[in-house]
Chains A and B, each alone.
Chain A
Amino acid sequence: MDKFRPETFLPLTPVAFEILLALADGERHGYSILQEVEARSGGAVALHAGTLYRALARLLESGLIEELNESPDPSSGDERRRYYRLTARGVAVARAEVGRLEGQLAAARTRRLLKGARA
């Protein structure tokens, strides 16, 4: 098999990156990803269900996330819910994306686009 190259996934779509971010601190199900994204952005980013699940399907296909076989929290009683977590590839791709964004941020700073930035 070819060596895995995270750069081939870049740039991620905003929705895909949000999902990877939400999964970075543990397994979540779809609805909880929606809530997390909305909460973190202070309501600025609202994912539509259709958009979210299509992105989940793509990430599953490319192996950046995976489905858990059973619910991590049986007490939740929500058995219909599928839980997702990042794979090693997912982590690598998310890191690569962060690196790419950092590069852009740095460039923005040197060009004084960021408020309060010093060269």
Chain B
Amino acid sequence: MMRDVLFRLALLAYPRAFRRHFGAEMQDDFRRTHLGPLGTARTLSTLFWNGVRERGSAIARWTMFPNATPHLYEPNGRHFMFWDTLRADIRHTIRQAIQAPLYTTLAVGALALGIGANSAIFTVVQGVLLKALPYQDPGQLVMVWSHNTKEGKRENPISPANFVDLRAESRDFATLQGYYSFVSNTQIVVDGPPEIAVTSFVTPGLFGLLGRSAMLGRTLTEGDPAGQVVLSHGYWQRRFGGDPNIVNRQVTLDGQPATVIGVMPPEFVFPYKGMIGPTGFTRSLAVDAWTTLLLTGPRMVDASDRFVRNVHYLAAVGRLTRGTGVEQARAGMAAIASRLEQAYPDTNKGWTTTVTPLHEQVVGAVRPALLVLISGVAVILLMACVNVANLVLARSISRQKELAVRAALGASRWRMMQQALTESLVLALAGALLGLVFVRWGVQALVALAPANLPRVQEVAPDATVLLVTLLVALVTGMLVGIMPALFAGRADVRGALQEGSRGTIGSRARHQLRATLVVVEIALAVVLTVGAGLLLRSFAGVMMIDPGFKPDNLLTLQLSVPYRLTTADARRAYYAQWFERLEALPGVTAVGGTTRIPLGSTSVTTSVQVEGKVVPMAELPEVEFRRAMHNYFEAMGIPIRRGRGFTADDGPNAPSAVIINEAMARRVFGQADPLGQRIRTGPNPSGAWSTVVGVIGDIRHAGLEADPAPEMYVNYLQNPPVAPFIAIRTSGDPAAMAELVRAEARAFDPTLAVYDIRTMQQIRSESVAERRFLLVLIGAFGLLALILAAVGVYGVMALVVSERTQEVGVRLALGAAPGEVLGMIVRQALTLAGTGVAAGVAVALTLTPLMANQLFGIPSFDPVTFVAVPIVLVVVATLAAIVPARRAMRVDPLTALRID
């Protein structure tokens, strides 16, 4: 009994016809042979594999030689079932497709474009949003931030003391590890002059927490001392030529001897952009090296050897214990934070915690933009579907007779619909196949076009999921395209169509209305896309119009790292004095300055400030951005001095300390009072020198063009010259052309001076809006494509209308109508379609655009300018598309037209 069932199951591997022919006998043979269990198993398995092979060769023959069917497989009525029908339909479709190459090319081309574009965008979405992060069990990983409730900053770095307390008290984390909430440009000496390596300082248990091991050597592990460095794959390749003996190599990192202990695999990324601190962005995020962050030393502990609680610069990532949800961890952390708030009100009042799933932290910021993108490309595919459906409908008119003959010969309605659906599915699959060819290039182009700081963009690559989704999209597309023609095929008018020379069915009203409806839908979709593109364009223009607070033209910037031998402030002062003198002497340079944090291109650092004569609890001190201004910084940047004065050579190391603040800080700290002459002190310390406010400068958009200017204070660098400042050089001509000259001058000045990241401010400004531009370029391209598709759709329908009304037009012209009236008549008809489509599209767009409000800047989602301009553009496009066939109608020769029959 069991044997029989198994045998029947194995038989299922064979093609149906084979099974019907031989199955009973095979089973009979099997019953007669007596085999042990092993023999039975062997027989069944050969049976099964033979079946698979038979099926394979049957399929191969099907596709290669559809007409040379062996008689065994020939349908003989009884076997004339689904697969045979399908095969017949596919053969028929292919024959039809070959007979109408133009139609086939257009349809497959449009679908390939639509499906290919969707797959390419989906590949990006999948790589960025959907794929798991390259860590072990990434679902358990969360980010922990300090939440400054007073200033509404949810994702503030954590202070060392708070980090230590959170780590010690939390029960929801298997482990909690920290890193500097920024990456540092660190000096590294390998074998020559010092260079810069982008370095991330991490607590040694971090790699274990992420569950990643090294490709070569080992990673940092819990308890590792300082002076060990792990290299990224890219840096190892680039700087060390992929040296296999890199492990145990000695280098100097940040002036200290360090040992290379390992190299990470190429796909390892840490930290992602979203995991870096909140204010602004660093210039480079591709980490070259990781090294140990120890919770010791002057930054971590204060004079009385306690962890620092009021300075925030750590980011924390944790792995939840099994079974712990994010909500639970959130509540647990908040409880600890509130205990700390009570224990240390001076520093912790108003501070709680934010716990965010790591995946959300990394890609959350780009999700809305990518969703807009994939919606846009889906609309394009819908439009392609509508266009092809229209094409199929148009063609079905010329195939009226064929369908009628089939119906007359007894094809059932279902059978005819099946045939029509098969046709569109074959078209869609062919389109998908062709589209897939372009996906690779499309994805490469997208990745090249994408902003370099788009998180995970380097992880984007087509994979099996993309293939599967493409197939699914193709099937749905085929259904969408085929459903209308299928319904029509199902009710062919047999008698009418078979009457010789009959014209009644060609213009069949229902079909006509359907085509008109499709065009209306198409125009409506085009409106939606174009409105989206218009809104993004207006937002982009708005962002680019924003005054950053300085003059970005004719400005060259670079970063320095001075040699370690300059250990004293005096040595650095002398060094910088010479350096600025040499730069100023260069031809074409009009002003030179520097700062510790350059706008649009670096992270920020904040400090709390006290105002003389105002007693405020420590936790309520205002936080402001802190920078040093070097040489003629404000002049070089073109930052206006609103009141008071800028720094002069008199603000030297021994002069009374002076500060310059921006207007935002004046408002924030002094309100209505006059800031000039007031004295302030940085940090929460109750002692320390006061500085006098000597000037007020204009506001600067540091964290990005769209970010509101933050309160800022500047001190003169002479009182504590920095070691790695940004230099700003104002030029009289093209700043990019000066880059080489400046580099050469730096080399001539001191070969051990590390000069890097030379870029014009316009470049930096442009990169700061790269994400917005990426979205705009793509949606703009989709909008343009939508316009073209809509024009093609209108043209197609109107051309058909004209050819159908030739006779009528002839009569009208013969009766004395002016050609202009005929033109007007046709164009009016097109405008009715366009008007309906535009109205529908505007209604849909009004409901959809609020969803993309977070991508807009400076305009409401119902921006009147866009909502007026787009309909006008579409009506113009529709009119132009209609004029071509309308002019043909105008030139109809009445005599010929009347003689058609």
**A residues adjacent to B (C-beta < 8 A):** 29-31, 34, 48-54, 56-57, 60-61, 80-82
Contacts and interface: CB of A to CB of B under 8 A. Distances in A.
6 contacts: A31-B32, A49-B43, A50-B26, A51-B46, A57-B18, A60-B70
Given A48-B50, A57-B18, A80 B26 contact: no
A57 B24 CA distance: 15
B46 A30 contact: no
A50 B47 contact: yes
B25 A61 contact: no
A54 B14 CA distance: 10
A80 B53 contact: no
Given A48-B47, A50-B50, A80-B24, A30 B70 contact: no
Interface string B7-51: 000000000001001101110111010000000000100111111
Contacts of B21: 57
Contacts of B71: 60-61
Q: Which of A49, A50, A54, A61 has the most CB of B within 10 A?
A: A50
A60 B21 CA distance: 12
B72 interface: yes
Nearest to A51: B50
Interface in B46-88: 46-51, 53-54, 70-72
A34 B29 contact: yes
Contacts of B48: 50
A31 B30 CA distance: 9
A81 B50 contact: no
A50 B22 CA distance: 10
Interface in B667-706: none
B18 A31 contact: no
Contacts of B54: 54, 57
Contacts of A31: 25, 28-29, 32
A56 B22 contact: yes
A50 B29 CA distance: 11
A34 B24 CA distance: 15
Nearest to B35: A46
Contacts of B53: 54
Contacts of A82: 25
Nearest to A81: B25
B800 to A, nearest CB: 49
Nearest to B58: A57
Contacts of A51: 46, 50
A35 to B, nearest CB: 9
A42 to B, nearest CB: 17
Q: Which of B28, B29, B43, B71 has the most CB of A within 10 A?
A: B29
Contact of B46 (A29, A50, A61): A50
Contacts of B25: 29-31, 53, 80-82
Nearest to A31: B29
Contacts, number: 55
Contacts of B43: 48-49
Contacts of A34: 29
B187 to A, nearest CB: 73
Contacts of B46: 48, 50-51
Contacts of B29: 30-31, 34, 49, 52
A67 B254 CA distance: 89
Interface string B94-126: 000000000000000000000000000000000
A49 B35 CA distance: 13
Given A48-B50, A50-B46, A51-B46, A57 B72 contact: yes
Contacts of A53: 18, 22, 25-26
Contacts of A56: 22
Interface in B715-754: none
Nearest to A61: B70
B47 A80 contact: no
Contacts of B28: 31, 80-81
Contacts of B18: 53, 57
4 closest residue pairs by CB, A with B: A50-B50, A61-B70, A50-B47, A48-B46
B300 to A, nearest CB: 75
Nearest to A57: B72
Given A30-B22, A54-B50, A81-B25, A49 B30 contact: yes
Nearest to A34: B29
A61 B70 CA distance: 6
A50 B72 contact: no
Given A50-B49, A81-B25, 20 more contacts: A30-B25, A31-B25, A31-B28, A31-B29, A48-B47, A49-B29, A49-B30, A49-B43, A50-B26, A50-B46, A50-B50, A51-B46, A53-B25, A54-B50, A54-B54, A60-B70, A60-B72, A61-B72, A80-B28, A81-B28
Contacts of A80: 24-25, 28
A80 B24 CA distance: 8
A49 B47 contact: yes
Given A54-B50, A54-B53, A49 B70 contact: no
Nearest to A80: B24
A81 B21 CA distance: 11
A43 to B, nearest CB: 12
A24 to B, nearest CB: 21
A29 B76 CA distance: 23
Nearest to A32: B29
B13 to A, nearest CB: 9
A77 B186 CA distance: 94
Contacts of B26: 30, 49-50, 53
B52 to A, nearest CB: 10
Contact of A57 (B22, B32, B47): B22
A49 B18 CA distance: 13
A50 B51 contact: yes
A38 to B, nearest CB: 10
Contacts of A49: 26, 29-30, 43, 47
Nearest to B11: A50
Contacts of B32: 31
Nearest to B70: A61
A30 B22 CA distance: 9
A82 B28 CA distance: 12
Nearest to B13: A50
A61 B46 CA distance: 22
Q: Which of B22, B24, B54, B72 has the most CB of A within 10 A?
A: B22
A29 B25 CA distance: 9
A50 B53 CA distance: 10
A29 B30 CA distance: 14
Contacts of B51: 50
B480 to A, nearest CB: 41
A16 B28 CA distance: 21
A29 B348 CA distance: 94
Nearest to A30: B25
A50 B50 CA distance: 6
B729 to A, nearest CB: 81
Interface string B167-197: 0000000000000000000000000000000
A31 to B, nearest CB: 5
Contacts of A61: 70-72
Q: Which of B18, B43, B49, B50 has the most CB of A within 10 A?
A: B50
B61 to A, nearest CB: 10
A94 B173 CA distance: 79
A27 to B, nearest CB: 15
Nearest to B10: A50
Interface in B249-282: none
A48 B53 CA distance: 15
Contacts of A57: 18, 21-22, 54, 70, 72
Nearest to B7: A49
A25 B21 CA distance: 24
Nearest to B49: A50
Contacts of A29: 25
A22 to B, nearest CB: 14
B48 to A, nearest CB: 8
Nearest to A58: B70
Contacts of A30: 22, 25-26, 29
